[in-house]
Chains A and B, each alone.
Chain A
């Protein structure tokens, strides 16, 4: 255990080429998927939280169900759609970073939507009432509502990023954990542990934990600001 830890630190400090490639693929996938999820999820969450329309309750329930979707189910779905027997096989996306990003977008967008919906539903009536009382128009009211959501948006993004970087089920199924191509930190930890290469697994685990710690510190600071 001690020697594996020493080797892990040496790998990090020596900027091992394979380790750097895994980090680069992970960063590319997590940043892309969390950004796309943010762009899709924030407007959808604000809309669900602020507007009242028939079927809204059903949409909220569907979104909450999707928030708890098991990653392997998502992976299975994408595998079936893009594999040799699937309707999208001609796109040849299976075992690429693009399909990993797509699967993650499906997994983490509901998290962004859910977080935004909960927050906006809490403040929207007061914002609307106050804005109407001041005689402000619809566009200005919407702009004010968005301004109130700055910290929740940051918080939702960090949650999405944390979920994305730590996810293993879907990315291993659709990405295939191919070395130097689609291997990300979580899949690499599994792979190297299975091979008995603990030092690289530990090195990746340490980096993953450090990223998680950093993200959680930022989330705590954001939540502290939110709690007023």
Chain B
């Protein structure tokens, strides 16, 4: 699976420049970088919700699932939110159990807490199979226990569906725990990419080393 090179410019200022990349099915790619480094813009362009200056989508015929950073809960029950893309009740129950939100299935989703909404949104996305899944900070609002449950679900989903998963995260620990490959962005430029051992433990670029030193190896 191939992402073609693309860039993004706002008001004449280039905020993102991506040289293109081949993605392997079944692998988890963690996208890391400081705030404002272009991680979310990268995710949005890949998901097709933000246009690039020139072609940047994965593949026009590929099914791409995307979980935005700001989770939106539709004004209906948690269960109905999960059943928006498919009517598989058993799958919905399984996902709600995995993310410990089964007791909230009848509650209006727009009245859930931040952490509950994050779990509902992740479960809602995982109702369907996609060729590529893009998750933008899926566990940012979750506590440690639910983060562990969510990470297990992400790993299981990737293994079972064989999809390519792109995980935007600010947590280096999370990248270490579940990623296979790491993409490091610095000021809108993909500075380094490789296996997590290469990028997180033996970085080749000074910006990556500086970032890791600052945020803790």
Contacts and interface: CB of A to CB of B under 8 A. Distances in A.
B145 to A, nearest CB: 25
A129 B48 CA distance: 9
B125 A133 contact: yes
B61 to A, nearest CB: 13
A189 to B, nearest CB: 41
A6 to B, nearest CB: 49
Contacts of B125: 133-134
A221 B71 CA distance: 26
Nearest to B67: A133
Interface in B65-90: 65-68, 70-72, 74-76, 84-85
B124 A134 contact: yes
Contacts of B130: 135
B75 A148 contact: yes
B47 interface: yes
Contacts, number: 54
- Most central of A123, A133, A148 by chain B CB within 10 Å: A133
B84 A134 contact: yes
Contacts of A144: 74, 84
Contact of B70 (A126, A147, A150): A126
B65 A128 contact: no
B72 A132 contact: no
A224 interface: no
Contacts of A140: 84
A138 B88 CA distance: 22
Given A126-B68, A228-B111, A135 B128 contact: yes
A135 B129 CA distance: 10
B110 A129 contact: no
A128 B49 contact: yes
B101 to A, nearest CB: 17
A166 interface: no
Nearest to A149: B75
B63 interface: yes
A127 interface: yes
B68 to A, nearest CB: 5
B128 A134 contact: yes
Given A135-B63, A135-B85, A148-B74, A129 B128 contact: no
Interface in A114-163: 123, 126-130, 132-136, 140, 144, 147-148, 150
Given A127-B72, A144-B74, A148-B75, A136 B84 contact: yes
Interface string B111-126: 1000000000100110
Given A133-B47, A133-B134, 19 more contacts: A126-B72, A129-B49, A129-B66, A130-B72, A130-B74, A132-B47, A132-B48, A132-B66, A133-B49, A133-B65, A133-B125, A134-B124, A135-B65, A136-B85, A144-B74, A147-B74, A148-B75, A150-B75, A228-B110
